[in-house]
C-alpha cells in the first residue's frame, strides 16, 4: 500500500509513538518537578514530625489532667486537715471552758452547802435564843440518855448475834459427832483416799475462810478508822471556827454582833462535845477537854441570855472570853498537829487502846505551837457578797455582735500582742449575757467574757508562768489601776492586797467623794514577775454599779469610835457602803489592832452601832479574813 493509501488513524498513532528528542526533553523536564515533589513529600522532615506531634499531644493532656487531679486531691486533704485541726482546737477550748465551768459549779455548790450550814446554825441560834437554861440541860440530858440507850441496844444486838453463832457452831459439831459414830467401820483403800482428799479440801477451804475472814476483819477495822479520822477532822474544823468567833468576841462591843457570835460559840461547843464523845480515846484523856468545851458552851449560852435582855457583859465575863480564847487556841494547835501528822495506823492503835500511840500522847499534851488557818475565810472584806440582781446599768446600752466583741477584745488587750482573736460562743455569767472570746499570744491562750450589752469586760483569765518577784505590791496596784482604766472602769480604789507567792491579789471598789462602795468590787490578779494583769473578775461591779443618791453620816467619826472595844489601836478610818442583810448601809470602816490581831470593824453611820467585825488571818495563799 502506498503512502497516500494509509489511513488517517494509523498516522495519528504513529505520530503519538514517534516523538522528537525535544519533546522528550520537555516531557522529562515537566515530569521531574513532580517526582522531586513526591520525593520531598516522602523524605521531608516536616512531614515526618507532624504525626509525632499528634502522638505527643495526647500524653501531655493526660499528664495535665492527672496534675490537676492530684492538686485538687491535695487541696482537699489540706482542707480536711485544717478542718480537723480547727475541730481539735475547738474541742480543746470547749474542754477547757467545760473544766472552768465545772470548777465554777463546784465553787457554787460549796457556797450553797456553806449557806445551808449557816442557815442551820442560824436556826439553831434562834432556838437557843428562846431556850432557857433548864430546857437546855433537859435537852442535853435526853440526848445523853438517847445515846446511852442506842449504845446499850447496839451492845445487846452484838451479844445476841454472838450467842446465835455459838449455838449454830454447837449444833454443827453435834451433827458431825453423830455422823462419826455411824461410820466407825474401817475404810478400805478407796475410803482412805476419799478421806485424804476430803481432808485436803477441808484444809484448803478452812485456810481460804480464815484468809478471807482476816481480810474482811482488816477491812472493817480500816473503815472504822476512816470514820474516826473523819470525826477528828470535823472536830478540828469546829475548833478552828471557835477560835475565829472567840477572837471576834474579844473585841466586839455591839449587842447584835455579840448575840450572833455567842450563839455560834454555843452551837459549835455542843457539836465539838458530841464529836469528842465519839473518838476512841480513854475518858481520862478527853475528860478535861470535854469539860472545857461543855463549860464554854454553857458560858456562851449564859452571856447570850444576858445580852439578849439588853444588859452589858461584865469585866469578869469579858475575862472569861479571853480565857476561853487562850485555852481554845491550845486545843486548836493540838488538833492541827494531829490532823497534819497522824496516820490511819495511829488511829488503829488508838482504837486498840495502846497508851503509847501518837494520838494518846498528843491528847495528853497541849504544848505544840503549830498554827493552821480557820476554814471560813474570805479574800478581803465582803469579797463573797455578790448580790443576785439585774445589771441595770447595762440594760439601756447597745447590744453588740460577736465580731464587735472580737474587735473590742483586740482594743482592750492590745498590749498583750495578740496573734488571733476569736469569739467561741455565748454564755450566761450570773445574770449577764456574755460572749466568750479566746485570744492567742506568744505565751499562750487567754479567755475573756464580754457583755452583749455595752461590751464590758466581765471576766478575764490567762495561763502564764509566774515564778519570780520583780515588782512590788505598790507597783502592782498601779499596773492594775491602769488596766482597769483601759477597760473603762474609772474611779477604782484598792482596798485589799494579798500576796500568794509571786502573784499579787487585789480588790478594787468604786470610790466617790471619799466614800468606798464595797458592792461595786473588781478583783484583779497581777504577776509580780512580768508586771502584767493575768486575771480579772468584775461580776459584782457590773451587777451592782449604778448612780446612787448621796448619803451623809448621821453620827461623827469620833462618836462612831466610842462603839469600839477599848484598847483597839486604829490605823485608819473612812466612810464605806457595805452589803448588810440584803441592803446597802453607810458605815465607818475602822482598820486596827487589838491583842496582837488585825481587825476590820464596821459601825453604822446612822445609828453609831457596831454591825460587822472581820479578823485578818494568815494562810498559805496570803492574807484572808474570817
Tens of pLDDT, residue by residue over 323-369, are 888 888 888 887 787 777 766 666 666 655 555 565 656 666 543 33
Q: Band the pLDDT of 518: cuts 50, 70, 90.
A: very high
DSSP annotation string for 548-593: ------SS-HHHHHTTSPTT-EEEEEEEEEEEETTEEEEEEEEEEE
Read off the C-alpha cell for 69: 487531679
Please report the pLDDT score of residue 34 as a whole number.
47
Dihedrals φ, ψ of 410, to 5°?
-60, -40
Asked if 248 contacts 613 with a C-beta cutoff of 8 angstroms, the reply is: yes
Q: Where are the domains of the chain?
A: 219-364, 392-544, 557-625
Using CA atoms, how far residue 374 sits from 495, 618, 625, in Å, is 22, 9, 10
How far is the C-alpha of 181 from the C-alpha of 199, rounded, in Å?
A: 18
Asked if 533 contacts 561 with a C-beta cutoff of 8 angstroms, the reply is: no
The separation between the first and the last C-alpha atoms of the chain, rounded to the nearest angstrom, is 163
Using CA atoms, how far residue 162 sits from 11, 155, 217, 572, 600, in Å, is 161, 11, 16, 71, 61
Q: Which residues contact 426 (CB under 8 A, 6 or more apart)?
A: 433, 434, 435, 436, 452
Asked if 482 contacts 526 with a C-beta cutoff of 8 angstroms, the reply is: no
Residue 73 pLDDT exceeds 80: yes
Least confident of 18-22, 523-527, 587-591: 18-22
Please report the pLDDT score of residue 362 as a whole number.
61
Looking at the domain that runs over 557-625, which CATH code has it been given?
3.10.450
Residue 142 pLDDT exceeds 70: yes
Q: DSSP assignment, residue 416? A: G
Residue 23 pLDDT exceeds 60: no
Please report the pLDDT score of residue 186 as a whole number.
47
Residue 132 pLDDT exceeds 70: yes
Q: Band the pLDDT of 370: cuts 50, 70, 90.
A: very low
Please report the pLDDT score of residue 106 as a whole number.
80
Read off the C-alpha cell for 299: 458560858
pLDDT digits 0-9 by tens, 528-582:
998 999 999 988 888 888 888 877 899 999 999 999 988 899 999 999 999 887 7
pLDDT digits 0-9 by tens, 165-200:
777 777 777 777 777 666 554 444 444 445 444 555
Please report the pLDDT score of residue 285 as a whole number.
58
For residues 402-413, give the mean pLDDT.
91
Q: Which residues contact 498 (CB under 8 A, 6 or more apart)?
A: 379, 380, 504, 505, 621, 622, 623, 624
Q: What percent of the chain has pLDDT over 70?
A: 71
The pTM of the full predicted model, rounded to 2 decimals, is 0.48
Q: Band the pLDDT of 511: cuts 50, 70, 90.
A: very high
Describe the chain by its helix, strand, coil percentages, rounded to 5: 60, 20, 20
Using CA atoms, how far residue 576 sits from 78, 553, 614, in Å, is 61, 10, 15
pLDDT digits 0-9 by tens, 463-478:
777 888 899 999 999 9
Amino acid at each position: 500500500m502506498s503512502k497516500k493509501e494509509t489511513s488517517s488513524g494509523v498516522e495519528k498513532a504513529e505520530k503519538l509513538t514517534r516523538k522528537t528528542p525535544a519533546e522528550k526533553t520537555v516531557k522529562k523536564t515537566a515530569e521531574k518537578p513532580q517526582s522531586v515533589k513526591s520525593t520531598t513529600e516522602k523524605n521531608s522532615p516536616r512531614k515526618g514530625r507532624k504525626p509525632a506531634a499528634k502522638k505527643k499531644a495526647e500524653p501531655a493532656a493526660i499528664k495535665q489532667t492527672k496534675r490537676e487531679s492530684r492538686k485538687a486531691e491535695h487541696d482537699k486533704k489540706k482542707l480536711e486537715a485544717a478542718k480537723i485541726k480547727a475541730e481539735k482546737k475547738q474541742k480543746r477550748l470547749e474542754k477547757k471552758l467545760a473544766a472552768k465551768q465545772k470548777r465554777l459549779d463546784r465553787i457554787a455548790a460549796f457556797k450553797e452547802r456553806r449557806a445551808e450550814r449557816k442557815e442551820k446554825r442560824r436556826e439553831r441560834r434562834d432556838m437557843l435564843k428562846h431556850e432557857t437554861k433548864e430546857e437546855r440541860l433537859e435537852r442535853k440530858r435526853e440526848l445523853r440518855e438517847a445515846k446511852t440507850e442506842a449504845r446499850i441496844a447496839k451492845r445487846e444486838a452484838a451479844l445476841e448475834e454472838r450467842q446465835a453463832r455459838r449455838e449454830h457452831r454447837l449444833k454443827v459439831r453435834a451433827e458431825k459427832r453423830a455422823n462419826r459414830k455411824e461410820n466407825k467401820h474401817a475404810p478400805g483403800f478407796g475410803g482412805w483416799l476419799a478421806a485424804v482428799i476430803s481432808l485436803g479440801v477441808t484444809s484448803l477451804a478452812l485456810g481460804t475462810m480464815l484468809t478471807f475472814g482476816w481480810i474482811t476483819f482488816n477491812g472493817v477495822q480500816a473503815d472504822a478508822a476512816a470514820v474516826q479520822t473523819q470525826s477528828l477532822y470535823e472536830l478540828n474544823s469546829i475548833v478552828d471556827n471557835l477560835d475565829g468567833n472567840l477572837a471576834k468576841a474579844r473585841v466586839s462591843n455591839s449587842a447584835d454582833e455579840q448575840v450572833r457570835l455567842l450563839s455560834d460559840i454555843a452551837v459549835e461547843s455542843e457539836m465539838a462535845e458530841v464529836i469528842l464523845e465519839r473518838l476512841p480515846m480513854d475518858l481520862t484523856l478527853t475528860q478535861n477537854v470535854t469539860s472545857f468545851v461543855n463549860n464554854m458552851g454553857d458560858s456562851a449560852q449564859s452571856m447570850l441570855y444576858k445580852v439578849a435582855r439588853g444588859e452589858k457583859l461584865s469585866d469578869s465575863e469579858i475575862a472569861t472570853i479571853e480565857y476561853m480564847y487562850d485555852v481554845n487556841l491550845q486545843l486548836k494547835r493540838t488538833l492541827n498537829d494531829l490532823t497534819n501528822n497522824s496516820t490511819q495506823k495511829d488511829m488503829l492503835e488508838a482504837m486498840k487502846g495502846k497508851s503509847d500511840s501518837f494520838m494518846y500522847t498528843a491528847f495528853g499534851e497541849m504544848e505544840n505551837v503549830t498554827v493552821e488557818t480557820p476554814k471560813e475565810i474570805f479574800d478581803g472584806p465582803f469579797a463573797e457578797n455578790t448580790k443576785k440582781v439585774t445589771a441595770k446599768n447595762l440594760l439601756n446600752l447597745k447590744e453588740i455582735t460577736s465580731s464587735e466583741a472580737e474587735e473590742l477584745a483586740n482594743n482592750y488587750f492590745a498590749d498583750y500582742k495578740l496573734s488571733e482573736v476569736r469569739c467561741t460562743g455565748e454564755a450566761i455569767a450570773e445574770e449577764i449575757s456574755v460572749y466568750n472570746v479566746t485570744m492567742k499570744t506568744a505565751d499562750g491562750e487567754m479567755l475573756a467574757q464580754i457583755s452583749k450589752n455595752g461590751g464590758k469586760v466581765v471576766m478575764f483569765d490567762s495561763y502564764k508562768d509566774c515564778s519570780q518577784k520583780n515588782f512590788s505590791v505598790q507597783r502592782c496596784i498601779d499596773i492594775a489601776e491602769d488596766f482597769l482604766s483601759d477597760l473603762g472602769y474609772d474611779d477604782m480604789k484598792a482596798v485589799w492586797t494579798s500576796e500568794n507567792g509571786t502573784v499579787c491579789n487585789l480588790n478594787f471598789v468604786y470610790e466617790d467623794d471619799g466614800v468606798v462602795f464595797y458592792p461595786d468590787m473588781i478583783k484583779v490578779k497581777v504577776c509580780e514577775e512580768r508586771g502584767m494583769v493575768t486575771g480579772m473578775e468584775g461580776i459584782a461591779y457590773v451587777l451592782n454599779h449604778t448612780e446612787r443618791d448621796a448619803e451623809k453620816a448621821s453620827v461623827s467619826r469620833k462618836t462612831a469610835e466610842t462603839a469600839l472595844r477599848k484598847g483597839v489601836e486604829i490605823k485608819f478610818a473612812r466612810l464605806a457602803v457595805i452589803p448588810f442583810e440584803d441592803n446597802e448601809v453607810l458605815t465607818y470602816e475602822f482598820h486596827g489592832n487589838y491583842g496582837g490581831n488585825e481587825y476590820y470593824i464596821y459601825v453604822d453611820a446612822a445609828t453609831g452601832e457596831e454591825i460587822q467585825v472581820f479578823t485578818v488571818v494568815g494562810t498559805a495563799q496570803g492574807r484572808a479574813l474570817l
